[in-house]
Amino acid sequence: MKYYDDLRGFIDALDEMGDIMHVRREVDCDFEPSAITRRSYEIQSPAPLFHKVAGVAPGFRLFGAPASLSSLKDKPYARVAMSLGLAPESSGPDIIETLSAARHKPGIPPVRVESSAALCHQNILRGDDANLDRFPIPFAHDKDGGRYANTWGTLIVKTPDGKWVNWSIARVMKVDGKRMVGLMVPSQHIGQIWTEWVKLGQPMPYALVQGPAPAISCVSGIPIPAHADEADYIGTLAGAPVPVVKAVSIDLDVPATAELVIEGHVSIERDCQEGPYGEYGGYLGSGSSAQPTFHVETITHRDDPIWPMSITGRPTDESHTLWAMGLAADALTYLRDAGIPVKTTWIPEDSTVHWLLVVMPQNWREQLPGMSSEALAQRVGEVLFATDSMVFIPKVYVVDDDFDPTNLREVAWVLSTRVHPTGRRAVFDNQRVIRLPQCYDEAEYVAGKGPKVVFDTLQTQRHLHASFEQGYPEEVRRRVLANW
C-alpha cells in the first residue's frame, strides 16, 4: 500500500502495471482526446495519456479515465484503490469499508507550506496572461454547449466567515479565455456556500484545481457530511496532512502539488448559459440553464502540466466507479449508524448510479429480532431517502449475502429470480427528484417530486444454488478441479 501525494507518481505507478496507454502522436484539441478516452472506458483499456495536443505549448498534456475500471482484469478497481492509498487488488467492498470507516475517525488538518516549496507555483500567470486558451481543453461530447474546463478538477470555496471550506467536483464549461460557467445546484455544498456570498452581495472567491493528489480528486467527488472539511478527511485516509499553499490572489489554500490552479471570483447572479452536457446516465444532454460566471484572474501551474479529464457517459467511467462507491459508502454509514446490521452496500457500475444494493448478512434476523423483511425494507428507505446523497438513487434492493454483488451476472440472476412482480416493496412517494437520474417523466422533474422504491428480495429460507460450488459433493469438486 502506498499513498501518492501527486498525480505524476500515481501515473508512473499505473504505467509500471501496464495500465497507461501513451498517445504520443499529435491529437486535435476538439474531440479526439475525449473520443479516445470514451472508447477506453467502453473497452476497459489502459488510461490514455496524451503527450502532444495541437494548438498548445509543447509539454502540456491530457490524462483521461483517471479513476475508471483498470485494464487489469484481476484488479478492476486498482485506479480507485491506488488513488486512496489502498492496494491495487482491493475489492469494491474493501474500498467502501475504508471510506465509511474514515468518517468516524478524527480528521487530520492540512499543513501550509511556503510558496517557494509549492510545485503548483512554478509558473504564475496574471492579468491577460491568465488565459484558458493556453491550455488543452477539449469538447467532451459533440452535442455539449462548450468545452468543459472541469470534469475531474477540485473546486475550492469557503463560507464568508471562513468556518467551512469545501472541496468538490462540479462541471464547469469554458466560455472564453477569461470566463467559465459552472453548474451551481442549491442543495449541493458548493451551492449552499455560493448562496451565502450572494446574500452578502459579494462575488465568491474560488480556486479550480487540476491534477492534485489522486485522493483529493476522489474525495472531492464523493459525499461527506456538510461542514466537514474534505482536506481533513483526506488527511485521515493518507495518514498525514495534505500540504497546501496560500493561493496567489485570493484567500484560499490550495493543494501544493497540484498540476494547475485557476483563481478568481464567481458572480452573484446566474448570468451565463451552461450546458448541455452528456452526463453519467449515458445520454447526451439537450438543454441549458442560467448559471453563475467563474471569472479567471490568476493561473498557476507546474512545468509541463497534466490536465486530467473524465468523459462521462455510458458505463463505465468515474461516475460509475468512484462516485458510486462514495454514494454506497455514505449509505453504508447512515444505515449502520441507524442500527441496521448491513454487511455491505454496492452500486453496480452498469446501473449508472440508478440501483443501490443493501446486502444483509445471513443472521440479520437474529440481530433484529421480531423484524420482518418487509419492515426492514421500509426502515432502509426511511433512513436512506432522508439523506442528501440518495437524491440520485431511485431504486434500492435489499438482498442476501449469498452472491457477489460486484458481479453483474450474479446481480442479474438474483434480481430476476427474487424480485416479486407486484409485491414485497416499500414505495416512498413525493421524494426529492432532480434531473440527473434518467427514469422520471417531465412533470416529476418540474415538480421536483417523484417516487422511490425499496425492493425486498430477502429469502425466508435460503435455497442452495444449482452451481458447481453448491450442487456437488466436495470430493467430486476436488477431483474435477485436480483434473481440469
What CATH number corresponds to the domain at position 79? 2.30.110.10
**What range does the domain containing 226 cover?**
7-309
Same domain, 81 and 229: yes
Do 252 and 367 fall into the same domain?
A: no
Tell me the C-alpha to C-alpha distance, in Å, between residue 237 and each of 103, 258, 416, 430: 10, 18, 38, 37
The predicted pLDDT at position 423 comes to: 87
Strands 449-456 and 395-400, how do they pair?
Answer: parallel
CATH code of the domain in which 409 resides = 3.40.1670.10
Active site residue 297: no
Q: pLDDT digits over 360-390, tens only?
A: 999 999 999 999 999 999 999 999 999 999 9
Reading the chain (484 residues) residue by residue, the pLDDT tens digits are 799 999 999 999 999 999 999 999 999 999 999 999 999 999 999 999 999 999 999 999 999 999 999 999 999 999 999 999 999 999 999 999 999 999 999 999 999 999 999 999 999 999 999 999 999 999 999 999 999 999 999 999 999 999 999 999 999 999 999 999 999 988 899 999 999 999 999 999 999 999 999 999 999 999 998 888 999 999 999 999 999 999 999 999 999 999 999 999 999 999 999 999 999 999 999 889 999 999 999 999 999 999 999 999 999 999 999 999 999 999 999 999 999 999 999 999 999 999 999 999 999 999 999 999 999 999 999 999 999 999 999 999 999 999 999 999 999 999 999 999 998 999 999 999 999 999 999 999 999 999 999 999 999 989 999 999 999 999 999 999 999 9
User: Quick one: 273 and 379 in the same domain?
Assistant: no
Residues 259 and 398 in one domain: no
Has residue 319 been placed in a domain?
no
Q: Please check whether residues 156 and 273 belong to one and the same domain.
A: yes
How many residues can be counted in the chain? 484
Residue 325: inside a domain: no
pLDDT computed for residue 1 by the predictor: 73
Q: Judge whether 475 lies within some domain.
A: no
Helices (H), 170-283: 189-200, 214-220, 230-238
pLDDT of residue 438: 93
Q: How far apart are CA 271 and CA 286, in angstroms?
A: 20
Backbone φ and ψ for 457, nearest 5 degrees, come out as -110, 10
Whether residue 399 is contained in a domain is answered as yes
* Residue ending a domain, choose from 309, 330, 364: 309
CA neighbor of 330 nearest in space, from 308, 347, 313, 348: 347
Cα–Cα distance for residue pair 36/212, rounded to 1 Å: 23
Answer yes or no: do 346 and 215 share one domain. Answer: no
- Per-residue pLDDT reduced to its tens digit, 426-437: 999 999 999 999
Under 8 Å CB-to-CB from 390, ≥6 apart: which residues? 327, 330, 331, 356, 384, 452
**Both 81 and 133 in a single domain?**
yes
Burial 306-325 (b: 16+ CB within 10 A, else e): bbbbbbbbbbbbbbbbbbbb
Q: Are residues 290 and 351 in the same domain?
A: no
Are 150 and 262 contained in the same domain?
yes
In a domain, 207, yes or no: yes
- Distance CA(19)–CA(39), nearest Å, equals 15
Residues 231 and 342 in one domain: no
Q: Is 330 contained in some domain? A: no
Question: In this structure, is residue 148 part of a structural domain?
Answer: yes
In a domain, 473, yes or no: no
In the chain the first and final C-alpha atoms are separated, in Å, by 35
Q: Is 127 found in the same domain as 52?
A: yes
pLDDT of residue 227: 85
For the chain, the domain total comes to 2
- Asked if 356 and 304 sit in the same domain, the reply is no
Choose, from 279, 297, 318, 349, the residue flagged as catalytic.
279
